[in-house]
Amino acid sequence: MFRYTVSIIFLIIGIKAICQDVESLIGKLSSAELHEQPAILNELSKKVRGSNTDSAMTFAKRAYALASQIDDKEQMALANKNIGIIHWFNYELDSALVSYGKSLNSFVELGREDEVANLYNNISIVFSKQEQKDTAIALYQKALEINLKRNDSVGIARNYLNLAVLYGEVENYQTEMHYQREALKYSYSSADFIYSNMAGTMSNLYGPDSAIFYYRKALELCKIDFLIARIYLNLGPHFRVLGMIDSARIYLEKGKLLLSDKLSEEYAKALMDEGSLFELEGNYSRSLGLYLKANHIAESQKYNALLIDLWQSIAHNYGAIGNWNNAYQWSRKHQQLQDSMTNVENSRHLAELQAKFEYEQHQRKIGELTRENLLKEVQIAADRNFKLVLLIGFGFIIMLSIILFVIYKRRQERREQGLAMKSLEIEQRMLRSQMNPHFIFNALNSIQSFITTNKAYEAEVFMSKFSLLVRKILENSTQKLIALDEEVETLDLYLTLEKSRFEERFDFEIIEDADGMISIPPMLLQPFVENAIIHGMKGKSEKGKITVRFLEQEDHLICEVEDDGVGRSAEEQKKAHRSLATSLTNDRINYFNEASSAGAFALQILDLKDSGSEPIGTKVTLTIPLDV
């Protein structure tokens, strides 16, 4: 919805310029040489296809005919591409695929990788619309490979965002989040829009508090009023779910004020969300007034999807104030609209069922043919009685092999049970280390301090980050392996909170020079980061720095935690480092090495010293195999 609304805003501004361009191109066409005309006609088709598809199709077909006459393969390919786009605009999906395919073959022959990648994108959109998600994803991946090779940052970002949308549609939200993060690396100028999309993904993954965190990151960067309004309007319902009614009302009001189109679906939805807040408080007269105002907009603009929920809410509110006649009338309207939309959905569903039935019939025929062939083979084998002795001997060998295999498997199971018990004990200790009572108590004290000093926004931000960190720790503790991106995000949240709590006494940097989808055991580095903060920065007069690095080297991931603190010179501090990090992590490393045949986990702690042998910090290096 947002994409199309923004397009309309800029369309109004650009109509005059487009008309002038079209007139100029038509003037050039009348005096152009034959070899120049296909390019001009293709450009005309491109200019007018958004407003007049019939004229655009005429220009494109003329371009193709003239290009064929002079054997201009590039203009022929462009003409087919334009024809495909026009078919797409007219929702003629099969015709669009045919024209795209012709254009693709031509551009492949011409070696035009930029156009090939662009056409893969266009074809993917058609397959996605036809509910062939796997094919669409595969084609987006091919376009991505080409754009990565060409180092086309705009194309790469677009591919990642398209992949994120597709994975979101199939409810694979973890992968959707990964591709959104990748898009952010290549298109930081659109970070506000990407963060807004990431908020929706986080809402599906972890709930409203996580979504609020990303919406606020989007707000920090956003400069476009419409997108700011959209973020405000999304924040309102999330605060409502958390029971923060006043905050929800404030954000909805802010969003409404920024919307210039008071007849838009967004404005009607904002009125409906605002009404739901009053309904939640039991103020049915106020909520009913807002619902009726939203209904006036939705009915006049035919926002049927919104009307279904709206009419049901109006009926409920009339019932709540005892106006049963109106409640009945609105309830009937709701049911009639829902039935009509259900009939449309049922027709689509029946078509899908018919296609599935025909596929199953085809598969059943294949299965029957296969079964007949197997029966024939069994009959032939039964006639070969002279091989009976050989078969018995072969069967004995198989039975003996099975017995030996079962014995081996039982030994393996006993070994795995022992490792599982050891793993459970280590994970419990790990979680206790992560959920340090002192850290939780100090974090809550920081929130209380913000509140008592009237720093409500800082308290709200700190609380949002703290709740997200606790959620991530609890969820990651149940996983054997997590993506490197998830570990980096957890460490970033933890260091941000600690930096705030320690009153900016240190800076930190996380360097990720590795594939974000690498799988690693969760929460391996946090104890060392905690030691770097508590023990490394303790007694340091100037501002310190903590650096966390992730480096991919051949078949290993190198993880480093380095601080410029006071070092481990005192015996007491050596003991603290061992109790908080070395002991627990060594136990986990021993377990991983025992459970894996690779045995490639390793831990090294190095005391950093200057030229005068004075301690200048500590560096912890953890080596993790990539095939964990």
Average the pLDDT over 389-399 and give the result.
76
CB proximity list for 483: less than 8 A, separation 6 or greater: 174, 178, 516, 517, 518, 519
**Which range among 244-248, 429-433, 533-537 shows the weakest confidence by mean pLDDT?**
429-433
Residue 428 vs residue 411, higher pLDDT: 411
CB proximity list for 148: less than 8 A, separation 6 or greater: 156
Amino acid at 546: I
- Cα–Cα distance measured from residue 254 to residue 304, given in angstroms and rounded to the nearest whole number: 26
Average the pLDDT over 73-86 and give the result.
92
The 10 Å Cβ neighbour count of residue 262 is: 10
Residue 31 has what pLDDT? 81
* Confidence class for position 415, pLDDT limits 50, 70, 90: low
Q: Does residue 61 register a pLDDT over 70?
A: yes
**DSSP string across 108-155:** HHHT-HHHHHHHHHHHHHHHHHTT-HHHHHHHHHHHHHHHHHHT-HHH
Average the pLDDT over 305-321 and give the result.
88
Average the pLDDT over 37-46 and give the result.
88
Going by C-alpha positions, the residue among 324, 233, 248 that lies closest to residue 279 is 248
Residue 558 has what pLDDT? 93
- Cα–Cα distance measured from residue 603 to residue 584, given in angstroms and rounded to the nearest whole number: 12
pLDDT in tens, 139-181: 889 989 999 998 988 888 888 988 988 898 888 989 989 998 9
**DSSP string across 215-238:** HHHHHHH---HHHHHHHHHHHHHH
Name the strand (E) or helix (H) holding 549. strand 544-553
Residue 551 has what pLDDT? 93
Average the pLDDT over 539-546 and give the result.
84
Q: Does residue 83 register a pLDDT over 60?
A: yes
% of the chain exceeding 70 in pLDDT: 80
Q: Does residue 345 register a pLDDT over 50?
A: yes
pLDDT in tens, 114-128: 999 999 989 988 888
pLDDT in tens, 347-390: 554 444 454 444 445 445 544 543 454 345 445 545 555 566 67
Average the pLDDT over 518-534 and give the result.
85
Going by C-alpha positions, the residue among 280, 225, 283 that lies closest to residue 256 is 225
Residue pointed to by tokens 């194309």: 155
